[in-house]
């Protein structure tokens, strides 16, 4: 057989493609590329002379309204695939290899195991994939802190006032990683939303509750960096929490100009400035505590100032500081030559409460005697850290040196594992701090010195509450007798409340979740060999959810697959190669070939009647009817011929209504009804303004889709028109290429890559699912499969509730060729491709 040449434009002689030489069909039926049509002269308004037949035809203002010649695009895609280097020779149906080779592939564990209710709770926090980019990644020794930059403006529909502005810097806090095997990513690609929701769903309920408390609290507490939501990085598959980051001047320059002589006492103005600053921190921490949040440590860089000079807490820095703290503890325990005191104070200037430090060591599997009770991290931990910050601002480097000694003794005592009086150690350290404070403050600020020393106590239950510290600081700014505005109705108790969330624990939560998930994946990889073989075949959707899908390839056609039909225990496939192949549904082996067409077959259907039939139609208006009983006949039992028009030709779609009628959609814009009793033409239904590209029958209604962008509904009883479905918005009209019906919903695939969902005559949802034409859609209950020009099979979940309809993108299956036909049947997904191969996906 001679190698066919690529179809090309009659003007510029360039091969047609979907980008540079798009084939457009004129009203006379001939095709010219879009680029040439733009350059042809217009002798009269809204007219153009066809380059082939030279007739003067109507020419619209917009070239996009002219339908694309999808047949030529199909043919061009197939031929280009043949010419590409490394393309394998086609296997004939009689060849032993034609029965296909099974390839078991592992998906990410528990993919799409979350419920619709879970999706509704968290979808509002999912940020667009293209709104953030990674700007900087810190070193591993620095905790791997990540910063990002906003690429485009984004405003949340749910959170009023939360706006991401272009080129704004944001903090990125990793909350998990979407883990998948190397082979998995080559086969199945989870959608962007699915990656984020899968990571969130993989967390324990307690961890998700902590995240939810943090997200809601940042919206209610002023002067705290907002959390905008979650974003997934395509490169490292990590899911990040995106936090507001405010660029502010150095803390020391705004609060206090350090004197060279640290023994010199602070002036009253300097003490008032310190009091104002720490009062605002007290107010912020108090509000966080009322929301159930406690930090457990404070770092100087966590604080900044907004445009009005008010103190601002950068939550992103708080989270990332927690990661650094984990890294510092591990380095200390591993004796890598970098001490904890140097890391916390010299490098980060971080003040961590004793109970939180001891809890960190416990989580690293170190055991030691807590004494009578184990002190939990809570609101009192922030009191201790804030007191350290205030003492440092008052005393200076002397306090840092004393703190280094304290941390050194604590770390060595823990590593010795011989037991230590931590309470006594802390008491002796606080006594030294009291002496230094007295020399710096003098007797004038005795009340402040007293409460700071109490705040630095070892037992959290004996520390003052944060409102007591706030009152003491306020007296430095305004005398009590003049303080008419002081009204504190409630106090925050110390200790750990039932809903307290320690922000630093988020970092550890992420690391533990990653370890567990990696352990599951690694354990699964080790047992893959035997485990897959023992599994029983199951539904493809269940296979995706569990993580295992099997793909079988059926080879035998010599050209692009155009249609699939199932009936009588067989799969029927039509192709441009003018042959209908019959395959056994038991073992997917090739059974027979119907050869009777002289032109490309465009569609195939099965009639389940007294006499089972297979009916196929080609692009020259010939319909062949085949008997589906053993032995299969070599010739069709009947051939029907549609009336030919020199301008329009070809059957593009077929559908069956029981055993009564065969419906055909053709290039002449008509839908024809053929009687299956005597094989005569019963009627022709007109109304479409272009090629009728797809047909389906459901619940007494015939649906017809056309290149004119509309779907028409016809009554099966008298073939009268019922209604027309078309979107009202101008410029959104795209050729209809595929239809599917499930219950009361109609799914329409368009040439522009969108899928529209209709209920009766109401457009419920429109999604841009593919990059290019959607040649086929198939449904199974709430699941929607779609495929087209971009060589991917989209998997989406359709959910309905009182608030409307939601289309959840679960993921996509990557294919090596354009998808031209999809058919779901008894748990299997049959996929016809332009490269002559039929693939069958099913769960295992």
pLDDT at 71: 76
Q: What is the pLDDT of residues 786-835, one digit of tens each?
A: 999 999 998 888 887 656 788 888 888 888 899 999 999 988 999 999 99
Q: Are 137 and 320 in contact (CB under 8 A)?
A: no
Out of 310-314, 559-563, 834-838, pick the least confident. 310-314
pLDDT at 662: 95
Statement: residue 734 has pLDDT above 80 = yes
Q: Are 320 and 145 in contact (CB under 8 A)?
A: yes
Confidence of residue 529 (pLDDT cuts 50, 70, 90): very low
Statement: residue 549 has pLDDT above 80 = no
pLDDT at 2: 54
Q: Are 744 and 726 in contact (CB under 8 A)?
A: no
Q: Which helix (H) or strand (E) holds 661?
A: strand 661-666
Confidence of residue 165 (pLDDT cuts 50, 70, 90): confident
pLDDT at 88: 39
Token pair 């009766």: residue: 760
Q: Where are the alpha helices (DSSP H) in 334-421?
A: 340-341, 354-363, 379-395, 397-416
Beta bridge partners of 298: 351
Using the Cα atoms of residue 307, residue 313, residue 316 and residue 320 in order, give the sign of their dihedral: positive
pLDDT at 96: 34
- Ramachandran quadrant class, 511 (left: phi over 0; alpha: psi -120 to 50; beta: rest): alpha
Statement: residue 656 has pLDDT above 90 = yes
pLDDT at 508: 57
pLDDT at 112: 55
pLDDT at 832: 96
Strands of the sheet with 188-190, listed across from one edge = 188-190, 804-814, 792-801, 783-788, 774-780
pLDDT at 110: 43
Statement: residue 514 has pLDDT above 60 = no
Statement: residue 343 has pLDDT above 70 = no
Statement: residue 517 has pLDDT above 50 = no
Domains of the chain by range and CATH?
A: 1-98 (3.30.40.10), 108-245 (3.30.200.20), 251-503 (1.10.510), 727-825 (2.40.128.630)
pLDDT at 494: 55
pLDDT at 399: 83
Statement: residue 731 has pLDDT above 70 = no
Token pair 């007296």: residue: 475
pLDDT at 417: 60
Q: Are 650 and 643 in contact (CB under 8 A)?
A: no
**Mean pLDDT of the region 401-429:** 75
**Mean pLDDT of the region 204-218:** 83
SS (H, E, C) 593-634: EEECCCCCEEEEEEECCCCCEEEEEECCCEEEEEECCCCCCC
Statement: residue 498 has pLDDT above 50 = no
Confidence of residue 144 (pLDDT cuts 50, 70, 90): low
Residues 6+ apart with CB under 8 A from 605: 563, 565, 614, 615, 616, 654, 655, 656, 662
Statement: residue 458 has pLDDT above 70 = yes
* pLDDT averaged over every residue in the chain: 78
Q: What is the pLDDT of residues 81-124, one digit of tens each?
A: 555 544 433 333 334 333 333 333 333 444 556 777 788 788 88
5, 12, 95, 691, 823 from 836: Cα distances, Å: 18, 30, 15, 25, 16
Confidence of residue 710 (pLDDT cuts 50, 70, 90): very high
534, 548, 550, 802, 842 from 542: Cα distances, Å: 16, 9, 12, 27, 9
**Mean pLDDT of the region 728-751:** 85
d(Cα 438, Cα 296) in Å, to the nearest integer? 27
d(Cα 147, Cα 170) in Å, to the nearest integer? 6
| Both tokens assigned to 391 | 């003492």
Q: What is the pLDDT of residues 585-644, one digit of tens each?
A: 988 999 999 999 999 999 999 999 888 999 999 999 999 999 998 888 889 999 998 887
Q: Are 470 and 282 in contact (CB under 8 A)?
A: yes
Q: Alpha-carbon dihedral of residues 383, 385, 389, 395, nearest 10 degrees? A: 90
pLDDT at 502: 64
* Candidate ranges 131-135, 320-324, 689-693, 740-744; pick with highest mean pLDDT: 689-693
Statement: residue 447 has pLDDT above 50 = yes
Confidence of residue 157 (pLDDT cuts 50, 70, 90): low
**CA 218 to chain CA mean position, Å:** 24
Statement: residue 385 has pLDDT above 60 = yes
Q: What is the pLDDT of residues 742-778, one digit of tens each?
A: 878 999 999 999 999 998 788 888 898 898 899 999 9
DSSP single-letter state for residue 15: B
Statement: residue 253 has pLDDT above 80 = no
pLDDT above 90 covers what percent of the chain? 22
Statement: residue 436 has pLDDT above 90 = no
């Amino acid at each position: 057989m001679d190698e066919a040449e690529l179809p090309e434009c009659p003007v510029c002689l360039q091969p047609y493609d979907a980008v540079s030489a798009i084939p457009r069909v004129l009203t006379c039926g001939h095709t010219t590329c879009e680029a040439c049509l733009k350059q042809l002269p217009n002798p009269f308004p809204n007219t153009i002379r066809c380059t082939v037949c030279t007739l003067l035809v109507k020419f619209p203002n917009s070239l996009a309204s002219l339908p694309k010649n999808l047949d030529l695009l199909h043919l061009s895609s197939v031929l280009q695939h043949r010419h590409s280097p490394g393309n394998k020779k086609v296997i004939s149906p009689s060849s032993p290899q034609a029965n296909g080779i099974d390839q078991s592939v592992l998906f990410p564990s528990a993919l799409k195991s979350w419920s619709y209710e879970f999706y509704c709770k968290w979808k509002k926090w999912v940020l667009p994939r293209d709104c953030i980019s990674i700007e900087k990644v810190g070193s591993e020794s620095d905790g791997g802190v990540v910063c990002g930059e906003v690429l485009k403006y984004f405003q949340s529909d749910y959170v009023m006032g939360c706006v991401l502005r272009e080129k704004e810097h944001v903090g990125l806090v990793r909350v998990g990683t979407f883990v998948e095997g190397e082979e998995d990513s080559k086969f199945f690609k989870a959608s962007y939303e699915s990656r984020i929701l899968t990571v969130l769903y993989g967390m324990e309920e307690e961890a998700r509750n902590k995240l939810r408390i943090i997200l809601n609290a940042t919206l209610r507490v002023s002067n705290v960096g907002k959390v905008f939501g979650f974003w997934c990085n395509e490169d490292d598959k990590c899911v990040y929490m995106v936090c507001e980051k405010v660029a502010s001047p150095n803390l020391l320059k705004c609060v206090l100009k350090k004197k060279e002589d640290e023994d010199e006492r602070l002036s009253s103005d300097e003490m008032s400035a310190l009091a104002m600053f720490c009062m605002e921190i007290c107010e912020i921490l108090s509000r966080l505590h009322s929301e159930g949040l406690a930090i457990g440590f404070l770092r100087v860089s966590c604080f900044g100032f907004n445009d009005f000079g008010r103190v601002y807490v950068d939550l992103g820095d708080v989270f990332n500081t927690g990661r650094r703290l984990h890294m510092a503890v591990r380095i200390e325990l591993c004796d890598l030559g970098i001490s904890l005191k140097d890391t916390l104070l010299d490098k980060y200037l971080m003040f961590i409460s004793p109970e939180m430090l001891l809890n960190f060591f416990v989580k690293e599997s170190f055991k030691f005697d807590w004494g009578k009770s184990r002190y939990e991290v809570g609101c009192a931990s922030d009191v201790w850290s804030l007191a350290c910050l205030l003492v440092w601002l008052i005393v200076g480097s002397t306090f840092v040196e004393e703190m280094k000694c304290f941390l050194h003794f604590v770390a060595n005592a823990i590593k010795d594992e011989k037991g230590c009086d931590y309470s006594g150690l802390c008491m002796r350290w606080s006594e030294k701090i009291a002496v230094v404070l007295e020399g710096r403050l003098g007797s004038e600020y005795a009340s402040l010195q007293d409460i700071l020393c109490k705040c630095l106590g070892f037992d959290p239950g004996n520390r003052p509450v944060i409102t007591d510290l706030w009152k003491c600081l306020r007296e430095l700014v305004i005398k009590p007798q003049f303080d008419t505005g002081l009204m504190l109705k409630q106090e925050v108790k110390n200790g750990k409340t039932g809903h307290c969330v320690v922000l630093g624990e988020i970092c550890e939560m992420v690391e533990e979740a990653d370890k567990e998930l990696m352990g599951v994946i690694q354990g699964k990889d080790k047992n893959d060999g035997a485990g897959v073989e023992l599994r029983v075949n199951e539904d493809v959707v269940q296979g995706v959810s569990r993580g295992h899908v099997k793909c079988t390839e059926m080879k035998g056609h010599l050209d692009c697959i155009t249609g699939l039909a199932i009936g009588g225990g067989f799969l029927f496939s039509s192709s441009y190669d003018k042959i209908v192949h019959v395959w056994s549904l038991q073992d997917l082996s090739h059974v027979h070939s119907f050869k009777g067409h002289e032109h490309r077959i465009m569609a195939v259907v099965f009639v389940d009647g007294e006499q089972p039939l297979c009916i196929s139609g080609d692009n020259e208006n010939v319909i062949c009817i085949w008997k589906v009983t053993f032995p299969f006949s070599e010739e069709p039992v009947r051939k029907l011929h549609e009336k030919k028009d020199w301008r329009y030709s070809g059957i593009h779609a077929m559908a069956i209504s029981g055993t009564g009628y065969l419906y055909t959609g053709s290039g002449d814009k008509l839908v024809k009804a053929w009687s299956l009793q005597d094989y005569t033409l019963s009627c022709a239904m007109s109304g479409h303004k272009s090629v009728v590209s797809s047909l389906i029958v459901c619940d007494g209604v015939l649906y017809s889709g056309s290149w004119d962008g509309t779907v028409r509904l016809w009554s099966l009883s008298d073939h009268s028109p019922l209604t027309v479905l078309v979107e009202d918005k101008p410029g959104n009209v795209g050729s209809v290429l595929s239809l599917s019906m499930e219950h009361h919903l109609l799914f329409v695939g368009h040439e522009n890559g969108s899928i529209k969902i209709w209920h009766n005559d109401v457009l419920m949802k429109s999604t841009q699912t593919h990059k290019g034409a959607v040649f086929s859609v198939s449904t199974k209950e709430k699941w929607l499969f779609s495929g087209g020009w971009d060589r991917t099979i989209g998997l989406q979940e359709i959910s309905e509730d009182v608030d409307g309809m939601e289309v959840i993108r679960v993921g996509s299956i990557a294919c090596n060729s354009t998808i031209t036909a999809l058919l779901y049947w008894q748990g299997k997904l049959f996929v016809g491709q332009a490269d002559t191969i039929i693939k069958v996906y099913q769960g295992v």
